Structure 1
Amino acid sequence: MADDEELMPAESGENSMLREAIEALRRGDRARARDLLTRLLKTEQDNAACWVWLSAAVDSPKERIYCLETALRLDPENASAKRGLVLLGALPPDDSVPPFPLNHPRLWEEKLVVVEEKKTRPGVGRPLLRLVMVIGIGLVAIGMVYAGFMIPQSPLAALRQSPTPRATRTLTPTVTSTPEYRTSTPTFMAPTPLWMLLPATYTVTPPYVSTQHPVTSRDAFNAGLRYMRQGDYQTALVNMQQVLGMEPNAADAYYYMGECYRLMGDYDKALEAYQSAINANIGFGPGYLGRALAKQDLNRDDGVLDDLNRAIELDPQFALAYTYRGAYRLAHADPEAALGDLMTARSIDPNSALAHLYLAQAQLALGQEAEALESALRANELDATLLDAYLVLGQAYEANGQAEKALGALQTYTLYKPDNVEAMTFLGAAYNARGDYNAALNILNRAIALDKNNVEANYQRGFAYLNLGNGDQAVHDFRVAYGYDPKHFGAAVGLARAYDLNGHSGDAYNQMEAALGLAETDEEKAICYYYEAIFLEKIDDPGSARIKWQNLLALPEDAMPYEWRVMAMEHLNVTATPTKFFTTTPVMQLTTRTPTPTP
């Protein structure tokens, strides 16, 4: 099956079960999809497409690999299965597999439209990413089924995996197939913005070190690099040890040993190897970078910034050192300084996906939503196997009011990170933004099952219940969110509206007064005045309601929907016609405002 479109079911009765399974995947009901696909495979065991779809419905990476390997055995040319296995680390990168990076979701009946980009990546002998108009219902399945949002990994070179600021207050290393970079929690004002909650996996960049080696050790050194690219770190270590047997002071060999240990999750040995590289050559910049990263992997912060500064001091054109220093500063609540480092890294190496990824995070932190989206798109374009670019891309789309596009990116991310509560919460928020409240409930229930006290997940689920008319459940979830974060404006407003939905307008007014105390912008004040006026009228206090309508009209016209001003004028018998800034009444703010970073 050379063409991935064959994975889509044809218009025939015999495919109705497959279509139903795909629809279940779209709703996030993987159990139902798994049941249907399992039953279908009892009669069609040789159906490679069903095996590929089933890979999106199972729970563990091991099961996904089994499904995709079965599909590939049945159809050796199945590009979707190949891409999935490459992404899961079960197959080496294969440049012959055509890439299908994420563009934006469409209805699944629409054909895939592949648009080849004209440029090529410098130093890489293959086309740039092709953009695909990808199927809407399949996006839950297609993230796994097609792995079509991921291009094959570029050859694994010798520098390390990505460092990404993590919103965890304790730093516990977790060894994965693609090691993660962990730092301390960004100390932004609560609640923590979801765009900061990012454990990264990154395709490493070409080696920084290009030291010449004598003929006696050159073959072993080159073989070591080759084995690293193949992911065979044990054999790479053997070759680098052979180099050191012939060149005891080869700093780069020690450095690459550190990289091997790092990628294998042995951070103590990695730290020793990086230190040996520094001892062999005190002016060897990558050694300081490696030592900084190994310390962070060991949950140590001592001397990390000093090592990053030293690496840059030794080589002012060391783009990767600027990138990691930017990541460090971003994780330590200094997005402005991080922005400077990351823009420098981008100017030195404009083809660094990692620099663009962190730059997008810094721009989101500083409220530069449009620039963040551009940076996130560029990161995804440069390396569509950079999984966390999909999370940041989804967040950037949401920040720019593009909920449909946010869904596609977030669905892809959560397929490969199914236990990431923050990512599932953000996906639930994207469903809420689209008005798909039942889908939001499905994903948010999973998030809360993993972390019942998660503020944002409870807030988003409360919002879904509110819009579905379930006041009791909305009150419960908003109370949880508001109880754990009394400064959460959205939860305060939501709780007031839920009280009103349950017929307790007096309690709703009192709660909205508390929300007004949290309001910082004219838009937030407008929300409070509008609902307070309505609640007061319901409890038969027209005089106080009139004051709230007047307060609403005193705000700038663009701080509220057009309909709200019209309603206020009608209640006050005002005849002037307001300027129509909004065409529809917007729903309550979906996510908490991004706080201003503390200097």
Structure 2
Amino acid sequence: MRQTFLLSLSLLLSAATAQAQVDSVRASTLPPDQQAERLYNSGVAKFNQKSYRAALLDFDKALTARPDFAKAYYNRAAVRYELKEYQPAVQDYNQALRLDPNTFTPYFGRAQAEEALQQTEEAERDYGKAAELKPDYAPAWYYRGALRFERADYTGAKADFDAALKADAAYAYAWHDRASTQRQLNNLPAAIQDYSQALKLQPELLPALLNRAATRRRAGDLKGALQDYNDYLTRKQDNALAYTNRGAARYEQGNYKAAVEDFSKAVELDAGYAFAWNNRAAAYLKLEDYKKAEADAGKAISLNKEYAEAYLNRGHAREMLRLPDAACQDWRKAAELGLEVGLTHAANSGCGAE
């Protein structure tokens, strides 16, 4: 969620009574400052109509008439941001701040442009400056928190999301992202509460439902997790990850047939989803359908040659299919890829040295 702001400025011009003949032309005699303000207001109106190129021309003309017009620099920067001209936008924000360094909005806007340019350190600093100048502006705290979350500073991110919610307790995205931060900090009950609050404020925020399900599953509440997955999939049936996660919860519950159904739906939606193929292989192993388990694990391996768990599962299937040499080869490969339990299985099954 990105927010672009324009600084509005009203201008009232008195209309002179028309006295000229219909065939005469009268040149504008507005002073430069008033001409700049008229063009500025026209630019704002065009921006609000999403006529960005036309707005840009108006702000260009306004700045030609009045080169020290800080708000025009700011608003031209906002237009350039919408046009994805991020570096020129930063330059205009720089000019706006040179002329008016005590306004929070250019710092916030410049941070957004810097973030688009992947200048995350600069963006974090500018979001912080915007928050310092206007502590009750929740998005400044929120976006800095998001940047801190991305670089795994979860303590700092939580502090920022706390501040965002202090400024705006109805900020559903801040509740959601604080929940994800709590989850990273292993505060699972608090994370579940925050996801629930996000959903209370914005019931259509489906990622919160999916993330609450995953958190409940991690906390051992499989019943609650399955309820959330069911609610999510009732409303959105095109998400392979959701089917895979519900399948994993069903697998943990011991409902292997239902797990296979979910993993099958996941690979139907995304045939390149190696994780779902391997998970279905694991479920088939539980159902003692070893041919299908071998085929699914093999498919996962074809998609990801470094998938240690898939080699392990294919080894188990091949062992049960009376293919000991092939099973040993798979277990050794799993161990080579870092899954040392593969060596244990190889040793327990009497695999000799290669």
TM-score with structure 2 setting the length: 0.70
Determine the C-alpha separation between the residues in 2 that align with 1:416 and 1:504: 46
Tell whether 2:225 aligns with 1:437: no
Q: 1:199-238: CA deviations, max 9, x gaps? A: xxxxx9xxx98xxxxxxxxxxxxxxxxxxxxxxxxxxx9x
Determine the C-alpha separation between the residues in 2 that align with 1:303 and 1:504: 57
Write out aligned runs for 1:181-580 (5 A). 181=3, 241=10, 244=12, 248=34, 267-268=48-49, 279=62, 281-290=66-75, 293=78, 301=83, 303=85, 306-315=88-97, 318-327=106-115, 329=116, 337-346=118-127, 348-349=129-130, 351=132, 354-362=139-147, 368-369=151-152, 371=153, 373-384=154-165, 385=168, 386-399=171-184, 403-519=188-304, 525-556=307-338, 564=341, 567-568=344-345, 571=348
Deviation at 1:268, TM superposition (A): 1.5
Determine the C-alpha separation between the residues in 2 that align with 1:540 and 1:404: 47
The 3 A distance-change label for structure 1 pair 435 and 540 is farther
Q: Is the 8 A contact 2:128 2:140 kept in 1?
A: no
Q: Is the 8 A contact 2:128 2:141 kept in 1?
A: no
Q: Is the 8 A contact 2:260 2:284 kept in 1?
A: yes
Q: Which residue of 2 aligns with 1:141?
A: none
Q: 1:455-497: CA deviations, max 9, x gaps? A: 2222222222222233333223223322333343432222222
Determine the C-alpha separation between the residues in 2 that align with 1:313 and 1:476: 59
Q: Which amino acid aligns with 1:324?
A: Q
Per residue, is there more helix in 1 or in 2? 2
Q: 1:257-314: CA deviations, max 9, x gaps? A: 95xx99xxx9328979998676274544544544565687xxx636466334422344
Which sections of structure 2, spanning at least 5 residues, go unmatched?
15-32
Structure of greater Rg: 2
**Alignment root-mean-square deviation, CA:** 4.1
Determine the C-alpha separation between the residues in 2 that align with 1:425 and 1:286: 42
Helix, strand or coil at the partner of 1:315: helix
Q: Which residue of 2 aligns with 1:22?
A: none
The 3 A distance-change label for structure 1 pair 459 and 573 is same
TM-score with structure 1 setting the length: 0.44
Q: Which amino acid aligns with 1:451?
A: K
Write out aligned runs for 1:29-68 (5 A). none
Identity of aligned residues (%): 16
Deviation at 1:438, TM superposition (A): 2.1
Deviation at 1:544, TM superposition (A): 2.1
Which sections of structure 1, spanning at least 5 residues, go unmatched?
1-162, 165-180, 183-203, 210-236, 575-599
* Aligned positions, number: 314
Helix, strand or coil at the partner of 1:439: helix
